[in-house]
Amino acid sequence: MLTDRKLRGTGSPNGPVPLSFLGQGLAAWVDRQARFLFLLPAVLLLILLSIFPLIFSVYLSLVRFQLVPGGFRFRFVGLANYRKLITGIEREHFLGLLASPAPLIWALAGVIAAVLLLFVIRGMVRGRSTLPAMAGRAVFALIAGTLVWLILRTLTSGGRPGSLVTTMVYVFIGITVQYWLGLTLAYLTSQHLPGRRFFRVVFLLPMMITPVGIAYMFRILANLGIGPFTPLWEALGLAEVSWASDPWGARIVVMIGDVWQWTPFMFVVLLAALESQPLELLEAAMVDGASRWQTFWRVTWPQILPVTSTLVLIRMIEGFKIIDLPNVLTNGGPGTATESLTLHAFIAWRTLDIGGSAAVAYALLFLVTFMALSYINLVHRRLAGAM
Span 71-110, contacts to other proteins by CB under 8 A = none
Binding range to other proteins, per CB under 8 A, among 83-91, 104-112, 117-125, 206-214: 206-214
- Binding segment for other proteins (CB under 8 A), chosen from 17-25, 54-62, 89-97, 145-153, is 54-62
CA distances 89 to 78, 81, 82, 84, Å, are 17, 10, 11, 6
Of 18-26, 130-138, 147-155, 322-330: span binding other proteins (CB under 8 A): 322-330
Nearest to residue 364, comparing CAs of 176, 178, 177, 171? 171
Q: Which one, of 169, 320, 322, 332, lies nearest residue 250 by Cα? A: 332
**Closer of 5 and 128 to other proteins (Cβ):** 5
Question: Per CB under 8 A, does 230 bind other proteins?
Answer: yes
For the CB of residue 285, give the shortest distance to other proteins in the complex, in Å.
9
CB of 117 to other proteins, least distance (A): 29
Interface pick for other proteins out of 152, 169, 183, 185 (rule CB under 8 A): 185
170 forms part of the interface with other proteins (CB under 8 A): no
Q: Which stretch binds other proteins (CB under 8 A): 77-85, 129-137, 172-180, 212-220?
A: 212-220
Q: Is 11:30 a contact under the CB 8 Å cutoff?
A: no
Q: Which residues contact 316 (CB under 8 A, 6 or more apart)?
A: 171, 175, 368, 371, 372, 375
- The correct pick among 172, 199, 301, 375 for binding other proteins (CB under 8 A) is 199
Phi/psi of residue 73, nearest 5 degrees? -145, 160
- Which residue lies nearer to other proteins by CB, 83 or 200? 200
- As beta bridge partners, residue 73 has 66
Q: Does 307 bind other proteins (CB under 8 A)?
A: yes
Q: Which is nearer to other proteins, 100 or 293 (CB)?
A: 293
Q: What share of the chain is helix, strand, coil (3-state, %, to 5)?
A: 70, 5, 25
Select the span of 37-45, 86-94, 130-138, 246-254 touching other proteins (CB under 8 A).
Answer: 37-45
CA dist., res. 314 & res. 7, Å (int): 35
Sites for other proteins among residues 236-275 (CB under 8 A): 260, 265, 268-269, 272-275
Q: Residue 11: what are its φ and ψ, rounded to 5°?
A: 75, -175
Number of H helices, E strands in the chain: 20, 4
Q: Which of residues 111-150 bind other proteins (CB under 8 A)?
A: none
53 belongs to the binding site for other proteins (CB under 8 A): yes
Among 258, 324, 339, 353, binds other proteins (CB under 8 A): 324
Check binding of 25 to other proteins (CB under 8 A): no
Per DSSP, 17 falls in state P
Q: Quote the CA–CA distance of 246 and 77 in Å, as a whole number.
A: 37
CA dihedral 75, 76, 79, 84 (to 10 degrees): -10
Does residue 28 contact residue 15 with C-beta atoms inside 8 Å? no
Residue 203 as a binder of other proteins (CB under 8 A): the answer is: yes
Tell the smallest beta-carbon distance from residue 184 to other proteins (Å): 7
**293 in contact with other proteins (CB under 8 A):** no
